[in-house]
């Protein structure tokens, strides 16, 4: 199972989102380190809309997502961009 698929499954189970997009942006970071060609699944972006975030600050939302994905960081996820929202909040996507 790919890292992207694992992330999607864990976030669905934890937050029951109305909308969820997990994007692999690793290719955008090619060359940032001498031996990194942009392959693999090291840099991901999560766009998620879930009622579970109601009443939480942006920081608390990020922390909740990072806690759910702790194992993925331990397994090699290097960077995670998070765009959380509750239903009705404006998003840029």
pLDDT, tens digit (0-9, with 9 covering 90-100), for 48-87: 999 999 999 999 999 999 999 999 999 878 889 999 999 9
Per domain, the residue ranges of the chain are 3-33+41-85
In this structure, which CATH number among 3.55.50.30, 3.30.300.90, 3.40.50.1370, 3.40.50.720 belongs to the domain 3-33+41-85? 3.30.300.90
Closest CA to 40 of 91, 4, 92: 4
pLDDT tops 60 at residue 12? yes
What is the pTM (predicted TM-score) of this model?
0.84
Give percent of the chain above pLDDT 90. 67
74: helix, strand or coil: helix
pLDDT tops 60 at residue 39? no
Closest CA to 91 of 5, 4, 18, 6: 18
Alpha helices in 16-47, H assignment, sequence order: none
Q: What is the pLDDT of residue 63?
A: 98
């Amino acid at each position: 199972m790919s890292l992207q698929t694992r992330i999607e499954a864990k976030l669905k189970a934890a937050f029951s989102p109305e909308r969820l997009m997990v994007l692999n942006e690793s290719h955008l970071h090619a060359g940032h380190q001498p031996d990194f060609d942009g392959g693999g699944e090291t840099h991901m972006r999560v766009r998620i809309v879930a009622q579970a975030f109601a009443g939480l600050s942006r920081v608390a939302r990020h922390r909740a997502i990072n806690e759910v994905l702790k194992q993925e960081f331990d397994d090699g996820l290097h960077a995670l961009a998070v765009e959380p929202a509750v239903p009705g909040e404006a998003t840029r996507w």
